[in-house]
């Protein structure tokens, strides 16, 4: 006897984003639960864990922000291998403002967010015409270049960096600032990409010639997406600077470029929620594996390989499908 898997959609009304969703409690819950439960769960966790894991969660939030930023760029057809650029520029702007101008974090973080967005957009403006791997190579090279410039010219503390920067009021404050920022960015990006504006961004990724002949300046749209993505990355850098009370060359390290991409791949790209989920799995996992000792990276790598092979679509897409569809085995009739 042969069987095949049958998939049946459920809750189609709730998924049409139409007014139907408001007609019944069941349908409202259907939409509400997958959003509310993870958020409440996350905040519950923050109340239960100690200072060490709170620090881990802060760094998780930072990587989640970088992953969200990467996902937005990818949605607009720009593949970035240099999230460290956004992170590092935000971190250095904050550090410089705090160290040399004695500005409080209340000002340095917002200025670094907007300023970092502007600086990174201007740095990448000349290469907006490049596509795919060519754009990616430039984003890969820029943070490496900036690091050497700082090393060679000894500006901004050179190899020593700037230490003794102002801290934020408490670990909990840092944590909630990070997590709230992640949620705000997540829901903003998710909404944005489904508007007609977001449609143009996705259009540029899929067929930029068709967008051009539609009388739309794709470079202007790409620059806007780049600004949003780099501002989010710069905010992450600024937050981390005040958490460590230090800024130095490590902010341009490859970790900040690669881990966000790994997060997006493990979590599932294109939905933002997936990228965030990926960061919330990978960063704590990497910390938890510290107990293993020398083989940590091996286990970490193994985990990445298993996930990309077993769930190439990403964890989020997998669960989303399971949530929206019934699956059952039925006999094959001959």
List of residues contacting other proteins (CB under 8 A) = 196-197, 199-200, 202-203, 206-207, 209-218
In the complex with other proteins, which residue's Cβ is closer, 119 or 211?
211
In the complex with other proteins, which residue's Cβ is closer, 85 or 228?
228
**Four-point Cα dihedral 120, 125, 127, 128, nearest 10:** 110
Q: Least distance (Å) from other proteins to the CB of residue 37?
A: 28
In the complex with other proteins, which residue's Cβ is closer, 16 or 170?
16
In the complex with other proteins, which residue's Cβ is closer, 79 or 200?
200
In the complex with other proteins, which residue's Cβ is closer, 170 or 217?
217
Q: Are 256 and 86 in contact (CB under 8 A)?
A: no
Q: Least distance (Å) from other proteins to the CB of residue 216?
A: 5
In the complex with other proteins, which residue's Cβ is closer, 104 or 210?
210
Q: Least distance (Å) from other proteins to the CB of residue 317?
A: 14
Q: Is residue 129 classed as helix, strand or coil in its secondary structure?
A: coil
In the complex with other proteins, which residue's Cβ is closer, 110 or 132?
132
The phi, psi pair for 325, rounded to 5°, reads -130, 140
In the complex with other proteins, which residue's Cβ is closer, 32 or 219?
219
Cα–Cα distance for residue pair 16/181, rounded to 1 Å: 28
Q: Least distance (Å) from other proteins to the CB of residue 233?
A: 27
Q: Which helix (H) or strand (E) holds 161?
A: none
Cα–Cα distance for residue pair 218/128, rounded to 1 Å: 9
Q: Least distance (Å) from other proteins to the CB of residue 218?
A: 7
Dihedral sign, CA of 149, 151, 153, 158? positive
Q: Least distance (Å) from other proteins to the CB of residue 126?
A: 16
Q: Least distance (Å) from other proteins to the CB of residue 132?
A: 16
Cα–Cα distance for residue pair 260/58, rounded to 1 Å: 15
In the complex with other proteins, which residue's Cβ is closer, 13 or 296?
13
How far from 236 is each of 20, 42, 177, CA to CA, in Å?
A: 38, 19, 10
Q: Least distance (Å) from other proteins to the CB of residue 51?
A: 46
Q: Least distance (Å) from other proteins to the CB of residue 209?
A: 7
């Amino acid at each position: 006897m042969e069987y095949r898997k049958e998939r049946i959609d459920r809750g189609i009304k709730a998924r049409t984003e139409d007014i139907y969703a408001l007609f019944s409690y069941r349908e409202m819950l259907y939409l509400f639960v997958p959003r509310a439960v993870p958020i409440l769960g996350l905040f519950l966790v923050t109340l239960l864990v100690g200072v060490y894991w709170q620090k881990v969660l802060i760094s998780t939030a930072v990587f989640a922000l970088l992953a969200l930023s990467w996902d937005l760029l990818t949605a607009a057809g720009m593949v970035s291998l240099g999230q460290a650029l956004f992170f590092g520029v935000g971190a250095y702007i904050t550090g410089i403002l705090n160290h040399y101008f004695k500005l409080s974090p209340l000002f340095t973080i917002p200025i670094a967010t907007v300023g970092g967005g502007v600086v990174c957009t201007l740095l990448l403006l000349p290469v907006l015409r490049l596509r795919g791997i060519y754009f990616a190579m430039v984003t890969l090279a820029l943070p490496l270049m900036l690091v050497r410039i700082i090393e060679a010219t000894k500006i901004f503390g050179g190899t020593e960096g700037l230490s003794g920067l102002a801290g934020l009021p408490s670990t909990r404050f840092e944590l909630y600032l990070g997590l709230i920022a992640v949620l705000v960015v997540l829901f903003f990006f998710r909404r944005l990409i489904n508007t007609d504006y977001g449609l143009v961004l996705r259009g540029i990724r899929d067929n930029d010639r068709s967008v051009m002949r539609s009388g739309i300046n794709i470079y202007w749209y790409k620059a806007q997406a780049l600004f949003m993505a780099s501002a989010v990355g710069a905010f992450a850098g600024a937050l981390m600077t005040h958490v460590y009370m230090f800024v130095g060359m490590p902010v341009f390290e490859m970790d900040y470029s690669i881990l966000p991409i790994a997060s997006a791949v493990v979590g599932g790209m294109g939905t933002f929620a997936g990228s965030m989920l990926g960061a919330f799995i990978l960063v704590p996992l990497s910390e938890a594996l510290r107990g293993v000792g020398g083989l940590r990276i091996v286990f970490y790598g193994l985990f990445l390989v298993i996930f990309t092979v077993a769930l190439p679509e990403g964890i989020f897409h997998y669960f989303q499908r399971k949530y929206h569809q019934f699956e059952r085995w039925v006999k094959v009739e001959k």
